[in-house]
Chain A
Amino acid sequence: MTFLLQQTVIYTVPLILVALAGVFAERSGIINLALEGIMIIGAFVGAWFVRIMQEGGWNEDAAQGLLLLALVVTAAAGALFSLLLSFSAVKMKADQTIGGTALNLLAPAIVLFLVNIVFQQNTLNLRYDAPSWFMLFQTDFGFERKAKLGLVGDLLLNKTYLTTYIGLLIYVVLAVILYKTRFGLRLRACGEHPQAADSVGINVYRMRYLGTSISGALAGMGGFIYALTTSNGAANGDVAGFGFLALAVMIFGNWKPLNIAIVGFLFGLLKCISACSGTLDINGDGVYLLAQIGVSTYVYNMLPYVITLVVLAFTSKKSRAPKAEGIPYDKGQR
């Protein structure tokens, strides 16, 4: 049980972060279909950066500092890549769905190209095993190796990553920004009724650039966190549809941070079950219950996606997207 929840948290953090990325873009009025692509870029840039630093002789004792630095770099990379989307959508007034799709095609192509050129292989791996460098154990928090921490303690303080805390912190900060600050109010106004925002002197174009850049930064980080914590930091131009899953979480969560956290955890659990189901007996503390049911692991693998489909089919009618999302704002049109 503990193992399952630990794994769930690991999946949930990037999922919520990337869903929140979607929120910030869409609340400003830009549909960010490129979440998947930005994640791919983030995962690649992060892995490359960490590898370079490791090869440059970064000390394992300061691994957490490296992780922090990598997060900053991936956020910057994501924000930069998302500028392609905001430039086409805001400045060129292009169709955002097409722009986002183009980025989703572009990202894996660039990544595979670079990985092949630079490393002469199809996958970029970290120099050293990711969990051994970055995973935090209860001993890191000053507890005895054998000490019992209980369920909550195990969840928060054992076999976890620094990114989990940072992710949660970012989530809280951003949710507060969205609802309690001047910036949040203005951002939301731009996604709902840009003409209204413009008429009270808010620069809609700037808000949309900002919203999309925040979105890109979050998705970039999310991509790296995902790669680091679930696939040993490997970057191969693929995040297994995680960005689209995050979009589904955003829609199912009705563009609201609190709902997204709940939905994100739910989807994280499903995704985790599917990922764990194949390795149930390996870790020893796996989920015997699931193995004993005797359902094919393929069913578990399908679950998150099937449920996404079903859930969206039933809830999308009630969902309330930002009204002006996807519509290029033209100052001349009134």
Chain B
Amino acid sequence: MADNYVVEMLNITKVFPGIVANDNITLQLKRGEIHALLGENGAGKSTLMSVLFGLYQPEQGEIRIDGKRVEIRDPNDANTLHIGMVHQHFKLVECFTVLDNIILGVEPNKLGFLQKKEARKKVVALSEKYGLLVDPDALVEDITVGMQQRTEILKMLYRDNEILIFDEPTAVLTPQEIHELMQIMKSLAAEGKSILFITHKLNEIMEVCDRCSVLRKGKYIGTVDIAGTSKEELSRMMVGRDVKFAVDKAPAQPKETVLKVSGLTVPSKLHHNNAVKDVSFEVRRGEIVCIAGIDGNGQTEFVYALSGLEKASAGKIELCGRDISRSTIRQRAEAGMSHIPEDRHKHGLVLDFPLEDNLVLQRYMDPRFQKGGFIQREPIRAYAEDLIGRFDIRSGQGPVTPVRSMSGGNQQKAIIAREIDLNADLLIAVQPTRGLDVGAIEYIHSQIVGQRDLGKAVLLVSLELDEVMNLSDRILVMYEGEIVGELDPKTTTVEELGLYMAGAKRNKGKEASAS
């Protein structure tokens, strides 16, 4: 029995109706190591971790902790075994203080009455020991995402957890915060904690991990030492084929202006401030302009105002020389705007409608699809089949598949097919690859570049740094509702971009000269 393994998950199989999420997977974690669990979306990483955390029971296989076989029936069992997890979506009560969140579930008490004094001492000591600076009395809703994550880490440390699971912890952080997190993880490992790091970001694995296990489509592919491997090899293991990291594209050849935004201001629904403050820029034919920024800095509200989902309080939007500031959403579409929305379930699709109806959502009123107000089924079916073929949208029953039953990647492809086929002058793509796997991302990126090369203007809004750096021809950084900088992806670095995104740097003057 290998005695230096702290966790062993042996031959785990977990079946959901219609799908084998984990097929005979083995994962072994050594004490004091940082072990990456790599895989695309749907590869079975989260299922495997849920099994370890007691949220699911496996059909086959066994779990050993310190060499002893254990049953983990619920998170309480996991906690007893000193297993803790930082979930991708934080499990924090926003209107509670940091301290209350940390002690929730393991409250020190006398006859049921909370005893917070000792708890506070312990929390302060832990945060000093590991450099996790958080004010224990601050409300969670008032602190930054990075601090919320530290709260989650403190939650695990407060419970004396030895095995720490981090589920995609860097997705919501700035580059600087990611760097700090990596340092924290290293110091935790140095203290003898064992860390499971779930991610699909290869750079982070290369930087911080000791070993890496790869899953693909529910199957175990292998475990490698990071010291003896490369990004290319890891990605080949993950995807099953060679993947291009850089997007293939020729230099942009911008022509005349398509979209001109001047002084756009949008009030916020959350607070009294404006969510978007006096934003001005232009997008020209044949270029991809990207609005980068950390989530929640006004990008969403900005796109809502641009697409007509929300009203701007001031400013002007011109599309191909036409003022569309007061136009309705359909008028904007007719003026030449297409929009791949951020939330594909909320604004992109009618989930319980069949695929074909979703594909004509923007053009059911075309004479070819309706006569006297009555929907013409046959032309719609034919049109849907054409798009399905051209954009390789995969679904169970073709045009009549309920969209809800399709995979995220194919749902997104459906939206992209619909919007691109509108043949509009301006394509607004908001987080077009959110939650998609590497293969789908590659495809969508090539479609967007294709639109640019056809002479369309593309406005990309993205939170993914790799996407921002690879896809765009110009980068505008949005921070607290303002454009704080314009960068050239060819000359800038991720670090510099991060400084702008965090509000540490700004170069407003440059914007005017460049456009």
Q: Is A192 an interface residue (CB 8 A)?
A: yes
Q: At the interface, is chain A mostly helix, strand, loop or mixed?
A: helix
CA distance A94 to B372 in the complex (A): 41
Indicate if the CB atoms of B109 and A182 lie closer than 8 Å: yes
Q: Chain B 78-96, CB within 8 Å of chain A: the 1/0 string?
A: 0100000101011111111
**A320 close to B95 (CB less than 8 A):** yes
Of B91, B103, B107, B112, which contacts A199 at CB under 8 A? B91
Tally of A interface residues using CB under 8 Å:
21
Query: A296-334: which residues lie under 8 A (CB-CB) from chain B?
Result: 320, 323, 334
Determine which of B90, B105, B112, B113 lies in contact with A200 in the assembled complex, contact meaning CB atoms within 8 Å.
Answer: B105
Assess whether B104 is in contact with A196, with CB atoms less than 8 Å apart.
Answer: yes
C-alpha spacing A334/B100, complex, angstroms:
22
Q: Evaluate contact between B75 and A200: CB separation under 8 angstroms.
A: yes
B112 nearest CB neighbor, chain A only? A181
Cβ contacts under 8 Å, B112 to chain A: 181-183
Q: For A182, what are the chain B residues with a Cβ–Cβ distance below 8 Å?
A: 107, 109, 112-114
Q: Give Cα A195–Cα B93 distance, bound, in whole angstroms.
A: 9
- Other-chain residue from A181, A185, A199 in contact with B87 (beta carbon distance below 8 A): A199
A181-B96 in contact given A199-B91, A200-B75, A202-B104 (Cβ < 8 Å): no
Complex alpha-carbon distance, A323 and B79, angstroms: 27
Option from B92, B105, B113, B155 in Cβ contact (under 8 Å) with A201: B105
Which residues of the other chain, B, contact A181 by a CB distance below 8 angstroms? Answer: 109, 112-114
- Say whether B114 contacts A197, CB under 8 Å: no
A261 vs B106: C-alpha distance when bound (angstroms): 31
Chain B residue with the shortest CB-CB distance to A192 = B93
Q: Which B residues are in CB contact (< 8 Å) with A180?
A: 113-114
Is A193 engaged at the interface, CB distance under 8 Å to the other chain? Answer: yes
Chain B residues near A193: list those with CB within 8 A: 91-94
Whether the Cβ atoms of B93 and A189 lie closer than 8 Å is yes
Residues of A within 8 A of B101 (CB): 196
Say yes or no for B204: interface residue by CB 8 A criterion. no
| B114 with A196: CB separation less than 8 A | no
A200: chain B residues at CB < 8 Å are 75, 79, 91, 104-106, 155
B253 interfacial contact with A, CB 8 Å: no
Chain A positions within 8 Å of B106 at CB level: 200
Decide if A185 touches B95 in the complex (CB within 8 Å). no
B76 contacts chain A at the CB level, 8 A cutoff: yes
The interface centre, meaning the residue of A181, A193, A200 with most chain B CB atoms within 10 A of its CB, is A200
Q: CB of A186 within 8 A of chain B?
A: yes
Complex-state Cα separation, A195 to B92, whole angstroms: 9
Contact, CB under 8 Å: A201 / B79:
yes
CB of A189, distance to nearest CB on chain B (Å): 5
Closest to A201 in B: B76
CB proximity to B under 8 Å, residues A35-69: none
Specify which chain A residues have a CB less than 8 angstroms from the CB of B93 in the assembled complex.
188-189, 192-193, 196-197
Judged by a CB distance under 8 angstroms, whether A95 is at the interface is: no
A192 in contact with B95 given A181-B113, A201-B76 (CB within 8 Å):
yes
**A185 near B104: Cβ-Cβ < 8 Å:** yes
Which residues of chain A have C-beta atoms less than 8 A from B90's C-beta? 196
Which of A186, A189, A197, A202 has the most chain B CB within a 10 Å cutoff? A189
Distance in angstroms from A173 CB to nearest chain B CB is 12
Taking the complex as formed, is A154 at the interface, i.e. its CB lies under 8 A from any CB of chain B?
no
- B159 nearest in chain A by CB position: A200
**C-alpha spacing A189/B74, complex, angstroms:** 19
A199-242 residues with Cβ-Cβ distance < 8 A to B are: 199-202
User: B104 to A186, Cβ gap below 8 A?
Assistant: yes
> Measured between alpha carbons, how far is A323 from B141 in the docked complex, in Å?
12
Chain A residue numbers with a CB within 8 Å of B155 are 200
User: Which residues of A sit under 8 angstroms from B94, Cβ to Cβ?
Assistant: 192-193, 323
Chain A residues lying within 8 Å of B109, measured Cβ to Cβ, are: 181-182
When chains A and B are docked, how far (Å) is the Cα of A185 from the Cα of B119? Answer: 15
CB within 8 Å of A: which B207-222 residues:
none
CB of A185 within 8 A of CB of B100, answer yes
B15 to chain A, nearest CB (A): 15
Nearest CB of B to A52, in Å: 37
A327 to chain B, nearest CB (A): 15
Collect the chain B residues with CB atoms within 8 Å of residue A320's CB.
Answer: 95
Annotate A233-269 by CB proximity to B: 1 below 8 A, 0 otherwise.
0000000000000000000000000000000000000
Contact A189 B75 (CB under 8 A): no
Known contacts A185-B114, A186-B104, A189-B104; decide if A201 and B75 are in contact (CB<8 Å). yes
- Chain B residues within 8 Å of A201, by CB: 74-76, 79, 105
Q: How far is the CB of B80 from chain A (nearest CB, A)?
A: 9
Task: Say how far B38's CB is from chain A's closest CB, in angstroms.
Answer: 21
Query: How far is A189 from B92 in the complex, measured between Cα atoms in Å?
Result: 9
Which chain A residues lie closer than 8 Å to B85 at the CB level? 199
When the two chains form the complex, which single residue of A195, A202, A323 contacts B105, counting CB atoms closer than 8 Å? A202
CB distance from B103 to the nearest CB of A (A): 8
Q: How far is the CA of A189 from the CA of B113 in the complex (A)?
A: 16
CB neighbours (8 Å) of A186 from chain B are 104-105, 107
Interface pair B96/A195, CB less than 8 Å apart: no
Given A180-B114, A182-B109, 15 more pairs with CB closer than 8 A:
A181-B109, A182-B113, A182-B114, A185-B104, A185-B114, A192-B94, A193-B92, A193-B93, A195-B91, A196-B91, A198-B75, A199-B85, A200-B79, A201-B76, A202-B104
Report 6 cross-chain contacts, Cβ distance below 8 Å, ordered by A residue: A182-B112, A185-B114, A189-B96, A196-B101, A196-B104, A201-B74
Task: Report, nearest first, the 4 A-B pairs whose CB atoms are least far apart.
Answer: A200-B105, A196-B91, A201-B76, A199-B91
